[in-house]
Amino acid sequence: MIEEAAKLLARSRFAIAFTGAGISAESGVPTFRGFNGLWKKHRPEELATPEAFRKDPHLVWSFYRWRMGLIRNAKPNRAHYALAELEEMGILKAVITQNVDDLHREAGSRRIIELHGNIFRVRCTSCSYRENLKESGRLDEFLEEKDLPKCPECGSLLRPDVVWFGEPLPRKTLEEAFKLAERADLVLVIGTSGVVYPAAYIPQIVKETGGKVIEVNPEESGITPIADVFLRCPAGEAMEKLME
Ligand code: BV8
Ligand code: ZN
């Protein structure tokens, strides 16, 4: 199977990657399913919503501060680095990710489409203020804070700059991702359960426009039925073998 996947990759003219929480599992970042009950008995789907934030912003902010703390200590793994290398080699044209953990950027990928935002960016609930806490160097102080973070421009409540369940994805980002999927003749799908929409349309668009689908996942997923090659193994191991 690996040989077949390697052949498809070598023959591709416009390959893209589509990644989910599973690619960061080996970096120690729990997947959404991995979280269940992990954080004070809450399920992420309950917390990653505008309703939860309206009802109890303290609870949602402590969930995101806890996750930011966890993710900032995580390092990219072999799978992230392999995608950055494939981009270097001119084989991979872009990484479209559902993840908010910044690990593709840390691994050196350049063309990254973050469909669901980035956990290190915050934005104001009223004005257009946005801040990337890693770039502004305010991440530590932000994580130590216990109070609700306020906008330095207008004093309103700040929120994580991620897309919550029930919220639309940024139109421009989604359009760019769909255009890449239409152009792609191959999509490398790594570590996603393929149940979250509209992100999960990406591999389907590649398939419908005549492209090939290679999936890397230790379990079957919503994408497996359309996969041309299904590598049933963890991302790090599969990507290492693919790069040999
Ligand atoms: C939208 C950012 C419409 C936040 C995320 C009913 C009510 C309300 C909405 C809906 C509904 N039914 C459907 C919907 C739509 C909903 C949706 O799809 N829900 C699902 C749950 C059914 N979608 C939305 O709400 C989207 N918005 O539809 O808006 C709209 C339009 C106009 C106007 C108004 C509204 C927004 C979805 C974005 C949600 N935000 N993240 C944050 O991170 O805090 S999504 C979040 O969950 C993650 O980003 C991830 O993408 C997703 C799933 O989490 P996981 O399952 O953990 O991760 P993943 O799916 O990647 O699965 C892990 C996989 O890895 C597994 O398969 C596992 O086997 C594998 N794995 C494990 N270890 C490894 C591995 N693979 C490789 N190697 C390993 N080592
Ligand atoms: Zn503001």
Q: Map out the domains of the chain as residue ranges.
A: 1-28+75-116+169-244, 30-73+118-162
- The fold for domain 30-73+118-162 equals SIR2/SIRT2 'Small Domain' (3.30.1600)
Residue 209 has pLDDT above 90, yes or no: yes
Both structure tokens of 31:
């997947």
Residue 152 and residue 147: Cα distance in Å, rounded? 14
Active site amino acids = 116
Residue 44 has pLDDT above 70, yes or no: yes
Q: Would you state the pLDDT for residue 159?
A: 98
The ligand 1 atom at the shortest distance from the C-alpha of residue 200 is 18
Q: So what's the ipTM on this one?
A: 0.94
Residue 22 has pLDDT above 70, yes or no: yes
Mean pLDDT, the chain, integer: 95
Average pLDDT rounded to a whole number, residues 112-117: 98
Q: Across the strands, what pairs with 212? A: 186
Q: Would you state the pLDDT for residue 46?
A: 87
Q: Would you state the pLDDT for residue 45?
A: 84
Which CATH number does 1-28+75-116+169-244 carry? 3.40.50.1220
Residue 37 has pLDDT above 60, yes or no: no
Average pLDDT rounded to a whole number, residues 51-57: 97
95 lines ligand 1 (CB under 6 A): no
- Examine residue 44 and say whether the peptide bond preceding it is cis (omega within 30 degrees of 0): no
Residue 39 has pLDDT above 70, yes or no: no
The ligand 1 atom at the shortest distance from the C-alpha of residue 35 is 57
Distance 174 CA to ligand 2 centre (A): 25
Residue 204 has pLDDT above 60, yes or no: yes
Average pLDDT rounded to a whole number, residues 139-147: 95
Distance 195 CA to ligand 1 centre (A): 6
Give the 3-state secondary structure percentages of the chain, helix then strand then coil, rounded to 5: 45, 20, 40
Residue 99 has pLDDT above 90, yes or no: yes
- The contacts of residue 195 (CB under 8 Å, 6+ apart) are 221, 222
Q: β-strands 130-132, 158-162: how paired?
A: unpaired
Q: 1-28+75-116+169-244 and 30-73+118-162: same fold?
A: no
Residue numbers in the known binding site for NAD(+) are: 20-39, 98-101, 191-193, 217-219, 235
Q: Which residues of 51-66 are buried (b: 16+ CB within 10 A; e: fewer)?
A: ebbeeebeebbebbbe
The ligand 1 atom at the shortest distance from the C-alpha of residue 221 is 67
Residue 40 has pLDDT above 70, yes or no: no
Q: Would you state the pLDDT for residue 104?
A: 98
Residue 38 has pLDDT above 80, yes or no: no
Residue nearest to atom 76 of ligand 1 (CA): 191
Look up residue 140 and give its amino acid: D
List the 158-162 sheet strands across, edge first.
130-132, 117-124, 158-162
